[in-house]
Amino acid sequence: MKLFHVPGYASLAPHIALREAGARFTLERVDLATGMTDAGRRLRDVHPSGHLGAIEIAPGDVVSETPVCMLWIAHQYPAAKLAPAAGTREYFTLAALLNEIATEIHMAYIWLHNPTFPAAAKATLQARLDETVDRYDAVLRGRDTLLTSGYSVADCFFYVTMTWALPDDPKPATRAGVQAFMQRMQARPAVQAARAAEGL
C-alpha cells in the first residue's frame, strides 16, 4: 500500500490516520510542479484526477479524495477505533464533518493561499472560514475531540487544515478550544511520526 503525498498538504491527514491505525504502507512523494512521483511515475497515469490524498491499495487501484481515504482507513482498521460503527448516527456525523472540513475549510485555504485570488473575494472567503472554524472552536472548548464518541479521523483532517492558517491572521490566537486541540494533536505519536517522515 502506498500513500501519495506532498509534505504538509491534505495528504498529511490520511498519513496520520494510517499511522494511528498501525498500517503497513510506504510513501510516494509527488512533485506538484511536474506531477511526477519520486518513484518516477506520473501521478495522473496511476490516478487520473491527480488529487491528493490518494492511496494505492494495489497496482492501478487507488482510493482517492481525502474524506473517502479517511473513512476507508477507519473501515480497514476497525481495531484502531478511528470512526464510530458504520450506520450509526455518530457515523453520519463523522461523514458530515469530513465533508465540511474538505469543502469549507480545506478549499478555503487553497484560495486564501493563492496570490492571484482577488482581495475582495479573499475577505469574503476569510469571513466565511472564520464563521466555520469558530463553530469548531466552540465545540472544542467543551470537549477534546470533534465527535462526542471520541477521537476519529475527523480530528486528523481538521488538525492538518489548522496548520495552514495565514501568518497575518489574528483569529487563531483567540480560539482557545482550537489551540488546546492542536497541542493535544501535536503530542500524539502518530502525528509526530507523520510530520517527521514528511520533514515538517
Residue 49 CA, distance from chain mean position: 18
Residues 6+ apart with CB under 8 A from 6: 29, 30, 32, 52
Query: Which H or E element spans position 170?
Result: none
Q: Could you report the per-residue pLDDT of 162-175, keeping only the tens digit for each?
A: 999 888 888 888 99
Q: What CA–CA distance (Å, rounded) separates 156 from 99? A: 13
Residues in a beta bridge with 110: none
Query: Which H or E element spans position 63?
Result: strand 61-64
Name the stretches of the chain with pLDDT < 70. Answer: none
Q: Could you report the per-residue pLDDT of 54-71, keeping only the tens digit for each?
A: 999 999 899 999 999 999
Q: What CA–CA distance (Å, rounded) separates 157 from 61? A: 23
Residues 6+ apart with CB under 8 A from 79: none
The pLDDT, as a whole number, for residue 168 is 81
Residues 12-33, buried b or exposed e (16+ Cβ, 10 A)? bbbbbbbbbbebebebbbbeee
The pLDDT, as a whole number, for residue 119 is 93
